């Protein structure tokens, strides 16, 4: 799992060098983590509808903010270039997850541990109306 995450982080750092200087996790790093969870869960589990819906809602929020951040970091890029970059990175992450699963399998301990992140991400509440 670590080589897969390192590969994905390296790819994001190549288009987002400012990430390395950020305090705390940058939105692009968070997007990458959600993308790994999305790919892994889509291949290994069938979450209940409520959990899947909540994860997708959260992933869409993160994706929107990551897209805005990438555009902010590269103001000369048009929407098509930003979308293409995000798609290329997701494709690379998905491929790395597939390669990981070819070695580890969905039933492996490392996979089960990684899937816990999906559950945590599905439970996150990004609503602004917290009481």
With H, G, I as helix, E, B as strand and everything else as coil, classify residue 96. helix
Estimate the crossing angle of helix 109-123 against helix 27-44, to 10 degrees.
120
pLDDT tens string for the chain (131 positions)?
455 444 444 444 444 444 444 456 799 999 999 999 999 999 999 999 999 999 999 999 999 999 999 999 999 999 999 999 999 999 999 999 999 999 999 999 999 999 999 999 999 998 765 55
Please identify which residue in the block is written with the tokens 């995450």.
Answer: 5
CA 1 to chain centre: 14
- The DSSP H or E segment spanning 20 is none
Q: Rounded to whole angstroms, how far apart are CA atoms 102 and 87?
A: 23
Q: What is the pLDDT of residue 3?
A: 53
Lookup: tokens for 113: 């541990």
- The DSSP H or E segment spanning 117 is helix 109-123
């Amino acid at each position: 799992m670590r080589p897969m995450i390192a590969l994905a982080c390296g790819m994001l750092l190549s288009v987002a060098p400012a990430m390395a200087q950020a305090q705390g996790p940058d939105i692009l790093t968070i997007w990458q983590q959600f993308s790994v969870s999305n790919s892994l869960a889509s291949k290994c589990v069938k979450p209940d509808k409520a959990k899947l819906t909540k994860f997708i809602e959260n992933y869409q929020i993160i994706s929107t903010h990551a897209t805005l951040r990438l555009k902010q970091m590269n103001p000369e890029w048009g929407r098509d270039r930003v979308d293409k970059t995000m798609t290329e990175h997701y494709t690379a992450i998905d491929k790395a997850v597939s390669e990981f699963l070819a070695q580890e399998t969905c039933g492996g301990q490392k996979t089960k541990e990684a899937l816990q992140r999906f559950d945590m991400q599905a439970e996150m509440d990004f609503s602004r109306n917290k009481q």
